[in-house]
Structure 1
Amino acid sequence: MRMGAEIEPADVMTAFGFRVHSTASNRLHAVRDDHHFDMRIFRMNRVPSPSKIRALRDTVDPGEIVTFVVPKATARAQEVVADIPGVGLVSGDGLIFLPGLTLIDTIEPLPKPRGRVPWGTYAVIRALIRTKQGRSQSALARETGLTQGAVSMALSKIAAEHHRDVDGWSTISPSELWDEFMETYPGPGGTRTFWYSMAPFNEQVRVLRKRALLSADGAADLIAPWRTPVKIVAYAAEGVSLEKLGFSPATREESNVEFVIPADRTIFATAESWGLGCADPVLAAWDVLQIGGNDAEEALEIIRRTVLKRWGT
């Protein structure tokens, strides 16, 4: 079940036979046959004007390809990209255009991406769910990795009931906050690549935990072990050579590991404040829901009950 799914260039490219590695939250390295591409990713609703493309090209490192990820590759977009050296295009409807290489498939385009994502609002939601203890804005800022001003803005945007008393900011409705997060969080953004390993699940967790923050089934076993593991989501601040660790590139459907360098950097701060040795359980539950499976809803409910019980203690 993928709610709010966005176009993942690595998924599109892997289906065309590329081996794709995340090197940063907006960078990918892709290889196909003798073609090697270092790509700077720009997610947009449509390809911008030639003047804006040239301005963007001047901001990237030498040798990097300015690569636009868009829902649909219109004829005009293809013409604009083809006319400017050092520019590429990956579309949700199945086109890859990179210098010296054009590949086309026909698939159903994904919905257009939303505007700027308020990562801070979702981080404060997760912080308020952690405990019923009131906290000052400065304390919430430390827990989420935000500035105090960003916390203040986030608190003004949260729909579910929350309030300030003598102890600080808290909520009496953690279940409402939980639902708000599950229903509206658009995902962590950044770059996402897909991997497969035949190693036992516990061995995959052992290897990855040293290098990344684990979520989905990689965290559920620590939070509320219940279902048979399906997939690990691994968050890292920078690239990791998963092939050297025994993992092979895969499509989203084939993979049992999704490696993410997130644009939502609050993920690391909230994990530390929860102190469970994995992603915070609200995010982990969201990832379980995205992965899906016959028992995903049941697993989500078990994590939810565990989290809400902890909030009340």
Structure 2
Amino acid sequence: MLISMSQLGSDFTLGEGIDMLRGQGVIIEALGADRLLIGGRLAKIYLRHTVPSPAQIASLKTAVSLYVIPKITPGLRVLASRDSRLGLIALRTGEIWLHGACLTTGTQSANTDLKRPAIKFPWVRFGLLRSLALRSTPRSQAQLAQELGVSQPAVSAALSSLREIVHKTKGGWVANSFRSVTDEFLLNYPGPGGIRRHWFSLDPIMTQGARIAQNRPRALISGDLAADQLAPWKTPRTGVVYSPSELGLGELGFAESDPVAGTLIEVIPGDPTVWTLSKALGHTRLADALLIAYDLDNSKGADSREAVSTLLAELEKRRDSNGS
């Protein structure tokens, strides 16, 4: 089965494939979680754990269809050499084909134990966990569906999978407790998927965040930067920004970096509830608070866990005091 990048539960394979392309000097602009602009041509990226068939390749409509796969077969290699619309990135061998040409020698990659990707990721389930954690007001399935921008049957199926920690009241669905849903989310959410880039700046991290907020109004701030506004505890070291497409951070004085040295992570998420839930909560600058807690929990620093506990305590207090 074919899956787009926006359905992935992990961004490791995705990031590695894009890094391999950039390592060959290919100029890439991300237009979304599964769409790129490569040399002025629109490309849609697909991740597969098996080789795509000729029929599947022939049915693709975009100017460039880029497959991220474990390895390239001789048959695929011939197709890629004849059809400039077909792009291939082999994670296990390092071989890359783009615009009808091989960009590499196909040397062995360090990633020799590539795991099979998930076919479908339950974004609705994790969106519900965040929504029910942040609002104690009972809501119907229709209201929850509208809030997350999904169908009511999708909400119904997700609620069924959460029946041990949520229940239905006369007024609608609620969490059994704040901690039951926050624990479930923080323990099992594998991240928003999509495209991730690391950036570096010598400026203080709060200055970096303010610069982005001032110049990139479509960005949602998360991680250390956002947590410091909700429940200050740790000294912010890194920030996370979500955007529907690339923000052009190089124009704001940032330099692209590796994950170790980076001070800012730019994410074009595959999880659509990043946007729908933030909008439903009335947020224009910050991600929803439980996503902030997730990013804070995965940030640098030994005091991150204590900061998460402080943030959760503040969120629970607000939830209990105003019912939303």
TM-score, structure 1 normalization:
0.84
Residue number among 286, 291, 313 corresponding to 1:278 in the alignment = 286
Query: Is 2:125 the partner of 1:121?
Result: yes
Deviations 1:252-290 (A, max 9, x none): 333222222222111112123344541112111222233
Bigger RCO (CA 8 Å, 6+ sep): 1
- The root-mean-square deviation of aligned C-alpha atoms, in Å, is 2.7
Gap regions ≥5 residues in structure 1: none
AA partner of residue 262 (structure 2): S
Instruction: Tell me how many residue pairs correspond in the alignment.
Output: 301
Change (3 A) 1:47 1:230: farther
Contact 2:11 2:193 (8 Å CA) reproduced: no
Residue number among 101, 106, 109 corresponding to 2:109 in the alignment = 106
Residue number among 192, 198, 204 corresponding to 1:194 in the alignment = 198
Q: Kindly, what percent of the aligned residue pairs are identical?
A: 31
Match of 2:4 in 1: none
Gap regions ≥5 residues in structure 2: 1-8
**How big is the shift at 1:50?**
2.3
AA partner of residue 280 (structure 1): D
**How big is the shift at 1:93?**
3.8
**How big is the shift at 1:48?**
1.1
**How big is the shift at 1:97?**
0.6
Match of 1:221 in 2: 228
Query: Is 2:32 the partner of 1:24?
Result: yes
Contact 1:21 1:193 (8 Å CA) reproduced: no
Contact 1:188 1:264 (8 Å CA) reproduced: yes
AA partner of residue 168 (structure 1): G
AA partner of residue 188 (structure 1): P
Contact 1:27 1:191 (8 Å CA) reproduced: no
**How big is the shift at 1:248?**
2.1
Match of 1:266 in 2: 273
**How big is the shift at 1:170?**
0.2
Change (3 A) 1:78 1:255: farther
| 1:224-263 alignment runs, 5 A limit | 224-263=231-270
**How big is the shift at 1:76?**
5.2
Match of 2:5 in 1: none
Deviations 1:144-166 (A, max 9, x none): 22233322222112254111111
TM-score, structure 2 normalization:
0.81
How far apart, in 2, do the equivalents of 1:292 and 1:159 lie?
34
How far apart, in 1, do the equivalents of 2:183 and 2:119 lie?
22
Match of 1:6 in 2: 12
Change (3 A) 1:159 1:256: farther
Deviations 1:6-61 (A, max 9, x none): 31133444455655432222123457xxxx775321122233112212222xx10x
- The 3-state SS of whatever aligns with 1:28 is strand
Deviations 1:214-256 (A, max 9, x none): 1112321222222222322211123322222222222333322
Match of 1:66 in 2: 65
AA partner of residue 179 (structure 2): S
How far apart, in 1, do the equivalents of 2:261 and 2:220 lie?
22
| 1:169-180 alignment runs, 5 A limit | 169-180=173-184
AA partner of residue 224 (structure 1): A
Residue number among 125, 136, 139 corresponding to 1:135 in the alignment = 139
Change (3 A) 1:189 1:227: same
Contact 2:205 2:263 (8 Å CA) reproduced: no
Match of 1:44 in 2: 48
